[in-house]
Structure 1
């Protein structure tokens, strides 16, 4: 009986040791996998940045990456103001393209579908900086030189987060580079097409300067339904627009814009 009891104890001890070893192995593998995935996320972000940059001829993509990352690494991800990207704006400046700048607010999908088929206009996302970072998320952490792509604050979580500050600063530069006749597509299917809280309303329209001759507002509607150019929010737009810049407005069905941009026989020009 005593021998049986000893064998049972030894067997239990071996089982306990085996279970403990398995748990340790699982923990180590999970830790290694987690670190690997984090590194892949950071490296993947940098690779995407560089690959997109290299689609443009001329820029020093490695230097632009260095200047870009210096704006947010080793910083509290809720304490990256617009000014942190000033050096990036200098390293990859947005050049004036007169009569071709197209702004948008709550019309991103149709605007980019339009510019993808027509090179008559360019948006912020068609510039080097906008193209490189469109759709991406990034941030840094205090006392860390890494770039993180998860665990970053959302757009509205804090005002001075890296992504929001970048788009605010880059959009300001895009507007400051505008000249001649510029256009904005607003959503004519909502009650307030112009919002003072949007990037266009809070930043871009305020940065249009003396080089801009006119602002053409296109209200994108659905099948001739929705708001029109008498909408009260457009009065706010006019009040915000700088002196000396003329204003025009037209409501245009989305189907008309899509048909025009898809017609190869149409010459390069507006679809309204």
Structure 2
């Protein structure tokens, strides 16, 4: 009788144990879901606050309007179907307010070098990331989702996946920067690469075709070199020269990276004296 009663109690405990396990599992799922939701919210809030803080460093812009124009490009859309022209309203809200002729410097595979240089020499040169247009999202990731009015900073497509928000943005911003080019224009290319002027780069596919001889006087190539094998005779640079609009003067000069670094650390250089 005692054994029979003990077995009955064990049988009654099993459903209670199973219920307890299920409750714990559900609690874990709820905690994870809440944590993910909070992380996404913090990511969105951090993204917007970073965007606005960067925008507010520039005078003469309505940053609330800039933010709205930026958001409308991707919010509620399939993150792999955001075309370049979706950012047209943003480009309209971020015109260049200061004189830029002879100051624009483009780059391809030399971002860090170019930015180190312009950081100390903004009176001489500016990259697209030095403008409000490029500054507000430089180094950031973002996307939207169908049926949502949120901005997401995780789970977004990789750079090469369709017409994703980040890729399309930089192509559109680069196009606007190239459209503004006038006078003497400079580009820093990486002389350590077999193809410094790569046909699939943003510079080759987006920016160069938009240079017009009615506005651009010359293109000065600064080939950032590491050794004597890096020269302006590279075949890809010959292609660059051929692809320039008729009437734009082409110049190329090899400049050692260490020389550019010295110029980057000097705040009193004369414009153009690095090359």
Same fold (TM over 0.5): yes
Cross-structure match for 1:29: 31
User: How far apart in 1 are the matches of 2:141 and 2:175?
Assistant: 20
How do residues 179-194 of structure 1 correspond to structure 2 at under 5 angstroms? 179-194=182-197
Asked whether 1:125 is paired with 2:129, we answer yes
* Structure 2 residues without counterparts, runs of 5 or longer: none
Give the match's secondary structure for 1:122. coil
Q: 1:91 to 1:265 in 2, by over 3 A?
A: closer
User: How far apart in 2 are the matches of 1:203 and 1:241?
Assistant: 13
2:121/2:267 contact within 8 Å kept: no
Cross-structure match for 2:148: 144
1:191/1:227 contact within 8 Å kept: no
Cross-structure match for 1:58: 60
Asked whether 1:109 is paired with 2:92, we answer no
Q: Which runs of 4+ in 1 moved over 6 A?
A: none
Asked whether 1:12 is paired with 2:17, we answer no
Shift of residue 264 of structure 1?
4.2
1:181/1:214 contact within 8 Å kept: yes
Shift of residue 134 of structure 1?
0.8
RMSD of aligned residue pairs (Cα, Å):
1.5
1:104/1:185 contact within 8 Å kept: yes
2:219/2:249 contact within 8 Å kept: yes
Give the match's secondary structure for 1:36. helix
Cross-structure match for 2:174: 171
* Structure 1 residues without counterparts, runs of 5 or longer: none
Q: Deviations over 1:197-240 (max 9, x none)?
A: 11111111111121111111110001x33321111111111111
Cross-structure match for 2:75: 73
User: How far apart in 1 are the matches of 2:63 and 2:51?
Assistant: 8
Q: What is the number of residues matched between the two proteins?
A: 270
TM-score using structure 2 length: 0.93
Give the match's secondary structure for 1:133. coil
Cross-structure match for 1:220: 224
Identify the match of residue 204 of structure 1 among 203, 207, 211.
207
Shift of residue 19 of structure 1?
2.0
